[in-house]
Chain A
């Protein structure tokens, strides 16, 4: 149980275009989903926290107008990278938390590798 999927697993897009990444919890309802970004040989950086039906909370330094997050249902959150640029090329990983409260295990999706040319 507790499987999280991401789609697509990799994507190449041209500079200036937008890319949407989906994160789904397959066998549980996720009250909270998290979006991370990881550059090569660096640690995971939390970008934003999204709760179903409410606006996402973005970490300091993350542009909310550039990284649009929608958490429309308890099993789906989407991250849209708008007007992508080469510096947005990274490994984007989502995770889902099925329980309320803190200290719960987050189940990670397999990640999406974005390359902007």
Chain B
């Protein structure tokens, strides 16, 4: 079957670092996306991993371990505007994005 497991909610302080973990199970694997979604808006692309390792892009980094079915998104120097939902989105062998509930991150001053 297909399953995504990530924390429902997280809280962090402005300026801090937060890591959002995700474990997944898919039928086949064609990479994993992380999306950011603000309330009432569509998702926006953050990162894509298809090989094991760390991808860094500015304040955001994403890590993938295919053998463990594990990924994390690391957000540094948190800003208030980073308060949003973060969607760990693997791609199975159908090519379709698999969405879970996501992690709602609240950044506090």
Where the two chains meet, the residues of A that have a C-beta atom closer than 8 Å to any C-beta of B are 34, 36, 42-46, 49, 91, 93, 101-111, 113
Contacts and interface: CB of A to CB of B under 8 A. Distances in A.
A102 B91 contact: yes
Contacts of A43: 87, 99-102
B43 interface: yes
B2 to A, nearest CB: 12
Contacts of A34: 96-97
B71 to A, nearest CB: 14
Q: Main secondary structure on chain A at its contact with chain B?
A: loop
B48 interface: yes
Contact of B43 (A45, A46, A102, A108): A108
Q: Main secondary structure on chain B at its contact with chain A?
A: loop
Given A43-B102, A44-B99, A102-B30, A108 B44 contact: yes
10 contacts: A34-B96, A34-B97, A43-B99, A44-B99, A49-B96, A93-B42, A102-B91, A104-B95, A105-B33, A106-B97
Interface in B72-109: 87, 91, 93-97, 99-102
Given A46-B96, A103-B31, A109 B42 contact: yes
B51 to A, nearest CB: 11
Contacts of B41: 110-111
For chain B, the bracket of interface size reads 20 to 34
Most B CB within 10 A of own CB, among A91, A103, A111, A113: A103
B69 to A, nearest CB: 16
B5 to A, nearest CB: 13
A44 B43 contact: yes
B50 interface: yes
A111 B101 contact: no
Given A42-B101, A46-B97, A103-B95, 15 more contacts: A34-B96, A43-B99, A44-B43, A44-B99, A45-B99, A49-B96, A93-B43, A103-B31, A103-B48, A104-B95, A105-B45, A108-B44, A108-B45, A110-B41, A111-B41
